Each structure stands twice: as C-alpha cells, then as structure tokens.
Structure 1
Amino acid sequence: MDIGKRIRNLRLSKNMRVKELAKKAFISQPYLSDIENGRTTPSLDKLSTICDALGMTLAEFFGYESELSPDLMRLLENMKKLTEEERNHLSDFIEAILKRNSGDQ
C-alpha cells in the first residue's frame, strides 16, 4: 500500500486542501506534501494523528486495500451518510441507468 497516495486520495475525497489537513493533523504543510509524494513515511503516531484529522481510525485507513480514485472515495463517504432505505433507492437508480445504457449499445 502506498501510504502517501492513500492519504492524498482520502484528503481529496473529503475536499480538503493540504493546508487544512496539515493544520488539523498538527504537522507542517511541507511534511504532509513529502508524505503524499512518497519522499518520507510518517511514524505510526503521526499516521494516527493524520487519520484522526481525516475522521477515521488506523484500522479503517488500512482496511481499504484497493486504491480508489478521489471521486469514488467521495461517493462512498457520501453514501455512508445515507439511511439504508436511501442507499437502496440509490442502488436501484444506478442499476436502472446501467440497464438503460446497456440497451443503447
């Protein structure tokens, strides 16, 4: 897992700027930039603080092995806020779009 890339994707999925995440995580912007660009690796303690600033636990951070794009991460974050009924409606809507699009081909 590329920790820096994962942090960047999570930050972007939450529409956060480097400056904002650095401030919330009590680290400098250049240090966060170095982490995101793979020039340095944070200690477990620093990574835990960054996770807190992103609103997640270390377990959640390492739980997603797939490297999702920022737009998909944002979609998942928004879906977590929906009720089960709302998620079911959204799923039905997506399936209807996919079915319609497959008929166009």
Structure 2
Amino acid sequence: METLNFRFEHGQRRLPAAPQLSGVVSSGNLEVLVESAALNGACTIEIRTAARGFGPIWEAVLGDFQRRWQLADARIAINDMGATPAVVSLRLDQALQAMTGSVP
C-alpha cells in the first residue's frame, strides 16, 4: 500500500456540512469520501492505493479535478484498488454532484 497526500490552496467553492461517500472498494475500483473541514480555504486529498508508483498520474488527475471544482475547506479520502484515471474522475465528480446538486 502507498499513501499519497495532496493539498490545493485558494479554492472558491465550500461544501455542505454532510459528508458524501461514492464508490466501493473492490477489484479495480475505489471509494471516495468527501467532507467539509476547516482548512483555511484549502482542499486536502489523501489516497491509499494498492498501485504503487503512480504519484505523478494521481497529481495530474487531482489537479484537473481541483481546477474544475475549485474546492475550499474540503477533505477528501480515497481508497483505491487500481482504478483507472477515468474512474477516479468519475467517482470524484459523482460525490461532488451528490453533495452540491451541481456540476463543475
């Protein structure tokens, strides 16, 4: 297992207080937990993954996600079992759409 941590500063969109879970950890998939947190306008993302050595790909996918959503004061936890970048983006968007009722 590898744990990766990312922090994105200066987001604009704050989330409702209720946390949101999206996806299921199983072969080739992942789960995403999104929650509001006091982080001085930042968004933090922690990934626990079985696929080691993919930090630059995670950084690119999460950077794209943050540019689209511009989250502030948000904490995201991802448990991954080898999901593709497209599935990661899908699960993140699903969680945020369920929380906000909107799209990026």
* TM-score where L is the length of structure 2: 0.29
The TM-score, its normalising length taken from structure 1, stands at 0.29
By percentage of residues, which structure has more strand? 2
Higher relative contact order (CA 8 A, sep 6+): 2
- Between Structure 1 and Structure 2, the one with more helix by share is 1
Rg comparison, structure with higher value = 1
